[in-house]
Amino acid sequence: MQSVPKTVFDRQLAFNLYPAPEHREELIVAQLRGLIDVRTQVALSITQGTLFHGHTFSLFVKTEEELEIGDGEESLRANAAIALPEGDEQIGTIDAAGKDEVVVAEVRRDPSIAGGFWVWAVCDNLRRGSALNAVLVAEKVLFATGVPN
């Protein structure tokens, strides 16, 4: 092992994890609000890693009422932008490559917070991240300039 030259980046990026850039969580939580009931409390912390074509994230959701995991999964399945595996299928980042949907790999009840659930999900960062970002930016520019749809 030896240190990596830092002529372009201030740290080694390959095979490394680091906190997401500032405000990334706020952007994703705002996007989540369009997919879920706005009254749902959401806490999100992102750790970025250099994965090919993928993002993974762990999301904490607290519901007002106690829910069974199956009820939460059914709510997620009702959204066309979200996919869940069938049965005991194991999902990893590579399984989201080439897919438009956010793939929910696991929904797990939090053992210490009533109504709390952890959702672990993956998505293709080129389709869900970059492409979606481009569309959102284009929409903002078009609406800000008054260009008709």
- Residue 17: name the closest of 77, 75, 58 by CA: 58
Cα distances (angstroms) measured from residue 49 to each of 17, 89, 97, 118, 131: 4, 24, 15, 20, 19
CA angle (55 as vertex; 50, 57 as ends), nearest 5: 115
Between CA 104 and CA 59 the distance in angstroms is 10
92-121, pLDDT tens digit by residue?
Answer: 888 888 888 888 988 999 888 888 899 988
Domains of the chain by start residue, with CATH: 17-124 (3.30.360.10)
What does each of the 149 residues of the chain score in pLDDT, given as a tens digit? 567 777 777 766 666 666 667 677 788 778 777 777 777 777 777 776 666 677 778 888 888 888 888 888 888 888 888 899 888 888 888 888 888 888 898 899 988 888 889 998 888 877 776 666 667 667 776 776 665 55
Between CA 50 and CA 54 the distance in angstroms is 9
pLDDT score, position 141 = 67
pLDDT score, position 63 = 85
pLDDT score, position 16 = 65
Between CA 56 and CA 68 the distance in angstroms is 24
pLDDT score, position 102 = 87
CA 118, 93, 55, 71 dihedral sign is negative
